[in-house]
Amino acid sequence: MNALHGAVILAAGASRRLGFPKQLVEIDGEPLLRRAALAALATGPADCVVVLGHAADRCAAAVADLPLRCVIAPDWQRGMGPSLRHGVAALDAACTGVLVVLCDQPALDAAHLQALRSAWIAAPQCAAASGYSGAVGVPALLPRDWLQAAALDSDRGARDVLQERRGDVRVVVNETLARDVDRPGDLPPP
Residue type, position 35, single letter: R
The pLDDT value recorded for residue 22 is: 81
Q: Which long-range contacts (CB under 8 A, 24 or more apart) does 66-72 make?
A: 66/34, 66/37, 66/38, 66/41, 67/41, 68/7, 68/9, 68/37, 68/41
Task: Kindly tell me the burial class for residue 10, based on how many C-beta atoms sit within 10 Å of its own C-beta (0-12, 13-18, 19 or more).
Answer: buried
- Average pLDDT rounded to a whole number, residues 59-73: 96
- What average pLDDT does the chain have? 89
- Which of 179, 175, 138, 144 has the alpha carbon at shortest distance from 9? 138
Q: Which long-range contacts (CB under 8 A, 24 or more apart) does 132-136 make?
A: 132/173, 132/174, 132/175, 132/176, 132/177, 132/178, 133/175, 133/178, 136/162, 136/163, 136/166, 136/169, 136/171
Domain boundaries, the chain: 5-183
Higher pLDDT, 119 or 2: 119
- Average pLDDT rounded to a whole number, residues 90-105: 95
- Measured distance CA(86)–CA(74) in Å, rounded: 9
Query: pLDDT for 99-134, tens place per residue?
Result: 999 998 999 999 999 999 999 999 999 999 999 999
Q: Are 37 and 68 in contact (CB under 8 A)?
A: yes
pLDDT of 85 over the 70 cut: yes
- Give the CATH superfamily of 5-183: Spore Coat Polysaccharide Biosynthesis Protein SpsA; Chain A (3.90.550.10)
Q: Could you tell me the end-to-end alpha-carbon distance of the chain, in angstroms, rounded to an integer?
A: 47
pLDDT above 70 coverage of the chain, percent:
87
pLDDT of 47 over the 60 cut: yes
Query: pLDDT for 127-166, tens place per residue?
Result: 999 999 999 999 999 999 998 766 676 666 788 889 889 9
Helix (H, G, I), strand (E, B) or coil at 15: coil
